[in-house]
Amino acid sequence: MAKIIPFKAVRPAPDKVALVTCRMYDDYTPTELAAWLNFNPYSFLHVINPAYTFTHAQKITPEKRFKGVTHKYNDFKKENILIQEDKPIFYLYEIQTKNNTFTGIIAGTSIEDYQNNVIKKHEDTLQYRVELFKDYLHQTGFNTEPVLITYPDSTEINTFITLHKRNKPIYEFSTTTKEKHTLWKIDTQTEINLLVEHFESIPNLYIADGHHRSASAEMLYEQDKSTGNPNLNYFMSFLIAESNVKIYEFNRVVRDLNGHSKDDFIKLVADNFVIKDKKRELWQPKHKYEFGMYLDGRFYALEYKHKEKIKGVLENLDAQILYDTILHPILGLEDLRNDERIDYIPGKQAILHMKEMIDEGEFEVGFMLYPSDINEIKLLADNNLIMPPKSTYIEPKFRSGLLVYEL
């Protein structure tokens, strides 16, 4: 039984929402970031990146940075750039991109559910990142990046969403990335109660994106629960039907062949794969157990030979197969999170991007994967198993500054 609650969000003034909201901070190049901060005084980037106002060469401690975030956030509230709801409510949020439409519910989800595995995980976390974001939450007192959580498709929730979209939204705006964003309030007690009941009938929720944010929320709860602050018992989530998420792969690029010649490397790969030389064709995998490889100006199709021998859930994952057969035994990669010899490219990016990185000499070989599906993710989570790092790139991505959950 999944528990969700409404909350008193802080959000942009309606006339400024398109100016305030921004992509996640890491999505901006330094040049883009500087341009947006110089051009747009309303951007939420000014809140999450207060260090920009300091001398660029100056080293800033996390504590000083977090204080700067808090100060700028309070300035935005004082200037009525950000306003607060007068009562706890839910929201319905829709993102329309060129190729997809994503629609879901924004609510508070339960730390207790997270601890009791009602909310299930499939990715590992890095302790230092969890602790750093926990300190950020503790010192700033707010979060604007919800955890993306999926739920099994529900006729009742789908009907609720369809009917509610007939109402007038509080926001409807477009962005420079050619996305359309629409937000509706769910604020009548009847609707709130109905939505709570619908989710109470769902046995499990699954984290799609935001494992570090949810782990940080739990750590903050354990640290500060003695204060009696009820907001610590929940974290903001964007709940979306599992059929509505879009899962991309992460492709891999490696800087060297671990001392192997090209010919020897290909012979070693051939122990586990049927190799087809695609020459200069921009080739990508078409199905599971198939991999692409780009090496020395040529593309290769790799078909895994031993799929009928696979027994375990984790061993069936394409990212794990690549690690077990090539990355670890041949290329000598062990720590996929921290080894500087490997990097990752979201499958959403054109394959030409990977080709250029290798052609320019920064990397020597690249591997393309077929994307996982939601059933693989759920099966891993149900068996308390963890995906290899950078196995999935999942959409939708939330706009920073659209809604703020205060602690």
Structure-block tokens of residue 65: 């940075």
* Cβ–Cβ under 8 Å, residues 288 and 247: no
Rounded to 5°, angle at Cα 35 from 32 and 37 = 110
Question: Is pLDDT larger for residue 27 or for residue 171?
Answer: 171
Whole-number pLDDT of residue 64: 87
For the chain, domains (ranges, CATH) are 4-241+395-406 (no CATH), 247-393 (3.30.1760.10)
**What percentage of the chain exceeds 90 in pLDDT?**
85
Phi–psi pair at 84, nearest 5 degrees: -115, 140
Helix pair 155-164, 189-200: axis angle to 10 deg: 160
pLDDT on residue 58:
56
Paired sense of beta strands 205-209 and 171-174, if any? unpaired
Identify any residues that bridge with 183 across adjacent strands, giving them in sequence order: 93, 171
Task: Report H helices in 21-154.
Answer: 30-39, 45-48, 62-78, 111-115, 127-140
Compute the distance between CA of residue 173 and CA of residue 245 in angstroms, rounded to an integer. Answer: 22
Query: Rounded to two decimals, what is the model's pTM?
Result: 0.91
Average confidence (pLDDT) over 182-206 = 97
- Detail the DSSP E strand segments found in 90-217: 90-96, 101-110, 119-120, 142-143, 147-151, 171-174, 180-186, 205-209
pLDDT, tens digit (0-9, with 9 covering 90-100), for 111-142: 999 999 999 999 888 889 899 999 999 999 99
Mean pLDDT of 49-67: 70
Per-residue confidence at 53, pLDDT binned at 50, 70, 90? low
Tokens read off for 242: 């599992």
- Both tokens assigned to 309: 């021998």
pLDDT at 103 over 70: yes
Predicted pLDDT at 245 = 96
Q: Check pLDDT > 70 for residue 52.
A: no
Q: At what angle do helices 127-140 and 62-78 cross, to 10 degrees?
A: 40
Average confidence (pLDDT) over 221-230:
96
Q: 395 near 248, Cβ under 8 Å?
A: yes
Q: Report the b/e string of 349-365 with b at 16+ CB within 10 A.
A: eebeebbebbeeeebbb
β-pair type (205-209, 119-120): parallel
Q: Residue written as tokens 């990185």?
A: 357
What's CA 372's distance to the chain center, in Å? 15
Measured CA to CA in angstroms, residue 367 lies from 214, 284, 363 at distances of 31, 9, 11
Residue 311 has pLDDT above 60, yes or no: yes
Alpha carbon distance 28, 121 (integer Å):
28
Give CA–CA dist 2/201, Å, rounded.
7
Work out the pLDDT band at 57, boundaries 50, 70, 90: very low
Over the chain, what is the mean pLDDT? 94
Query: What is the band of 69 on the pLDDT scale with cuts at 50, 70, 90?
Result: very high
Residue 55: pLDDT over 60: no
Crossing angle (nearest 10°) for helices 211-224 and 127-140: 60
pLDDT given for residue 236 in this prediction: 98
